[in-house]
């Protein structure tokens, strides 16, 4: 469809949309367009009732709630663009509520599970068998968890992006937007060890500007990182789960959502609000522990 292609071109040029994201947007818009064929409407003339009907249609066909939420987000961006370009007079998605999926916490490892995985990686990297591979793997796991970085951001890192003396790294997120991610002592230590005693062993085999290299000297792929995390976690985690674990544990320890939004590189605070109920659970626990009237009082007249 010409209109969809024009919109995707706008996203690539003006917003820096990546190819894989563009393909997902195209599929979502094409799916909505197919639905509209049965309502005698087209993309430019769709009204709120058609958008709501489309979402109901997805639910009836047991489409996962989070996927429904993503499709609605796609439609919102599309109709906002049409409105700004004066092709339509009203945005049919304005009064459509987001699916409840945004209130569902993404899966995260327990803190004990995360600590167990990272401790095992540390032992492997510092023990007698602390070779280049072990140093590299530990640095990857520490960085994924400490910085909450996306796997695509990690594979795109270069050595010059690290500022370990300042305890931070520069990453490039969606739309090639750069952000500074702070690193804790454990991550800085792991990265320092990898740079000094691990990476040089791989660079000798093949020159590459990438930060994390294979034993053949090539920049590691996203798929390779996924397999590494899966293996080291005993099949319990993925790189994305480590990202969610980072945010979940931070909020659980009192971090505010704006700070987590900045760390994760979310452009919209609404995306970060998926962690709201963790903050609320912590608030309730603090209230119960410290408010003088929060605890149940003993019934008078009883012994």
| Shared-domain flag, residues 160 and 223 | yes
- In angstroms, rounded to a whole number, what is the distance separating the alpha carbons of residues 143 and 184? 9
User: 191 near 183, Cβ under 8 Å?
Assistant: yes
| Shared-domain flag, residues 71 and 212 | no
To the nearest 10 degrees (0 to 180), the angle between helices 239-252 and 222-232 is: 60
Catalytic annotation, residues: 150, 174, 240, 243, 266, 275
Residue 251, CA atoms < 13 Å, CB-side half-sphere: 26
User: 250 near 276, Cβ under 8 Å?
Assistant: no
| Shared-domain flag, residues 121 and 93 | no
- In angstroms, rounded to a whole number, what is the distance separating the alpha carbons of residues 232 and 225? 11
In a domain, 79, yes or no: yes
**For 230-248, how does the pLDDT look when each residue is reduced to its tens digit (9 = 90+)?**
999 999 899 999 999 999 9
Closest Cα to residue 199, out of 246, 242, 164? 164
| Shared-domain flag, residues 18 and 160 | no
| Shared-domain flag, residues 143 and 271 | yes
Give the pLDDT mean for 93-113. Answer: 74
| Shared-domain flag, residues 236 and 184 | yes
Q: Give the pLDDT score at 102.
A: 47
In a domain, 82, yes or no: yes
The total of structural domains in the chain comes to 2
| Shared-domain flag, residues 116 and 94 | no
CA trace torsion 216, 221, 227, 228 (10° rounding)? 60
In a domain, 168, yes or no: yes
**For 250-267, how does the pLDDT look when each residue is reduced to its tens digit (9 = 90+)?**
988 888 889 999 999 888
In a domain, 294, yes or no: no
pTM for this predicted structure: 0.63
| Shared-domain flag, residues 241 and 191 | yes
Structural domain boundaries enclosing 123: 111-284
| Shared-domain flag, residues 176 and 77 | no
| Shared-domain flag, residues 46 and 125 | no
State yes or no: pLDDT of 59 exceeds 60: yes
CATH number of the domain within which 220 lies: 1.10.443.10
Average pLDDT of every residue of the chain: 86
- In angstroms, rounded to a whole number, what is the distance separating the alpha carbons of residues 184 and 137? 17
């Amino acid at each position: 469809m010409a209109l969809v292609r024009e919109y995707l071109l706008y996203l690539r040029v003006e917003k820096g949309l990546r190819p894989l994201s563009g393909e997902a947007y195209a599929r979502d818009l094409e799916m909505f367009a197919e639905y509209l064929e049965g309502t005698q409407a087209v993309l430019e003339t769709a009204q709120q009732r058609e958008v709501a009907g489309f979402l109901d249609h997805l639910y009836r066909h047991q489409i996962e709630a989070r996927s429904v939420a993503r499709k609605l987000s796609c439609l919102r961006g599309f109709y906002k663009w049409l409105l700004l370009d004066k092709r339509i007079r009203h945005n049919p998605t304005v009064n459509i509520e987001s699916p409840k999926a945004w209130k569902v916490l993404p899966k995260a490892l327990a803190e004990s599970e995360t600590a167990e995985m990272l401790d095992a990686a540390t032992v492997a990297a510092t023990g007698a068998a602390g070779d280049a591979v072990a140093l590299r793997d530990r640095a990857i796991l520490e960085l994924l968890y400490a910085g909450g970085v996306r796997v695509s951001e990690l594979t795109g890192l270069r050595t010059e992006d690290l500022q370990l003396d300042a305890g931070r790294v520069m990453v490039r997120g969606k739309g090639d937007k750069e952000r500074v991610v702070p690193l804790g002592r454990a991550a800085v230590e792991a990265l320092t060890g990898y740079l000094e005693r691990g990476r040089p062993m791989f660079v000798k085999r093949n020159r590459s500007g990438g930060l994390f290299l294979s034993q053949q000297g090539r920049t590691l792929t996203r798929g390779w990182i996924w397999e590494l995390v899966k293996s080291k976690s005993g099949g319990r985690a993925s790189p994305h789960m480590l990202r969610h674990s980072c945010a979940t544990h931070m909020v659980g320890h009192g971090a505010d959502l704006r700070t987590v939004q900045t760390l994760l590189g979310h452009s919209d605070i609404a995306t970060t609000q998926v962690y709201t109920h963790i903050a609320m659970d912590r608030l309730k626990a603090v209230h119960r522990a410290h408010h003088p009237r929060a605890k149940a009082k003993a019934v008078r007249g009883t012994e």
